[in-house]
Chain A
């Protein structure tokens, strides 16, 4: 740098204090031995000193007075507006929605609670309910979709329609869904929907209601596939008198040979084979 003088730009950075410390030190060292750069520096510094010592005149007094008058009028107007009814409403809204943690938390909690309340109400009321009060909710069933890839999670999606369409995602073990499936089996005309309702019951815990529904299907369903499903599902239940009577009736009266075969198979496994008893009685 001894022979290469400091560039105009670097000199400018140096005098305005916009240079890094190390570079500034190097320039200061160079200037100790370079008169030309020292002069250039003095000249640049003079300009900056003039700028730094600049005294900018005040704005004209009448402009300031005009601005103040306008401002104070606006402030007065705002003050009177503060006490008006609409302003009070605005302040109340601001208070409710301002980001104070406690208020925010309460607000979120309230929304959450309302969500749960209305969610439950809508969920258990019109869509999945025991046939009775909510039975009018699904006069037409659009579809039931199964997703077996997510066991234990939302495996069933029901789309029900009356005036509106409801979609419900739930687990097949949900007792309200079981109630709905039983209701579907009783009232639904479409075979495919009834079959899907049967599939819901396959996943459910065995209860008396399910047993009754299966017996009813086996006795009266027009679709042999559903009757077959019902008899196969009844296999899983402990055989009682009602099931026994139904199986005997199916063995003797059902038009479908597969069902008759299943019935005989089940009856044969009983300790006292009722078919033989019946045959003997005949």
Chain B
């Protein structure tokens, strides 16, 4: 357990602020990647860190702080999206990744990297169309580089289920990316 987490657990609000600054960019990204909407991502961010603030004492250091944070984020995202679906039947429009992510420094890139960046842009668009659970598993595995075992813990399901989600989601994404490239 890091020193910062321990201090935050003892009620040090300055340590909590530092903790937020260190980890929040990944939380916001994950919330955005799951919800597909900037406004929702901001609301999920608030909810996640308020929960962390209230429950940080219950973190025992059995897993990394990131994994714990990811679990809260996924839970909050799924609850938030579920609630929103129940309350409104109108489709929520995505706000566009270009308004959310930082612009990549467009210096002279080698051809290979340009191709890769274009493909990743297509992948991101395809991921938004995946079912919620598959999307969460895909995002955690490939965008946040979590192992299958960790993804299973974060999502609260078995490794077999996660493997199934990842297999199905990568198949779909690959097919769609191929279509977009054509």
CB neighbors of A among B150-172 (8 A)? 163-164, 166-167, 170-171
* Contact A13 to B29, CB < 8 A, known contacts A50-B116, A64-B24: no
Contact code string B24-55 (vs A, CB < 8 Å = 1, else 0): 11001100110000100010011001100110
Chain B facing A: main interface SS: helix
User: Does any Cβ of A come within 8 Å of B145's Cβ?
Assistant: yes
Closest residue of chain B to A71 (Cβ to Cβ) is: B49
* Contact A54 to B123, CB < 8 A, known contacts A59-B102, A70-B46, A75-B53: yes
Contact of A59 among B16, B20, B29, B143 (CB under 8 A): B29
Q: Which chain B residues border A100 with CB–CB below 8 Å?
A: none
Closest residue of chain A to B148 (Cβ to Cβ) is: A17
* Contact A60 to B174, CB < 8 A, known contacts A16-B166, A74-B46: no
Chain A positions near chain B (C-beta within 8 angstroms): 8-9, 12-13, 16-18, 44, 47-48, 50-54, 56-61, 63-64, 66-68, 70-72, 74-75, 78-79
* Contact A58 to B29, CB < 8 A, known contacts A48-B170, A75-B50: yes
Task: Please give the distance in Å from B137's CB to the nearest CB on chain A.
Answer: 11
Contact of B171 among A12, A51, A53 (CB under 8 A): A12
User: Does any Cβ of A come within 8 Å of B66's Cβ?
Assistant: no
The CB with the most chain B CB atoms within 10 A, among A17, A50, A51, A56, is that of: A56
Q: Which chain B residues border A64 with CB–CB below 8 Å?
A: 24-25, 28
Contact code string B126-157 (vs A, CB < 8 Å = 1, else 0): 00000000000000001101001000000000
Assess whether B143 is in contact with A54, with CB atoms less than 8 Å apart: yes
User: Does any Cβ of A come within 8 Å of B13's Cβ?
Assistant: yes
Assess whether B167 is in contact with A13, with CB atoms less than 8 Å apart: yes
Assess whether B167 is in contact with A78, with CB atoms less than 8 Å apart: no
Assess whether B29 is in contact with A54, with CB atoms less than 8 Å apart: no
User: Does any Cβ of A come within 8 Å of B86's Cβ?
Assistant: no
Q: Which chain A residues border B123 with CB–CB below 8 Å?
A: 51, 54
CA distance A12 to B167 in the complex (A): 7
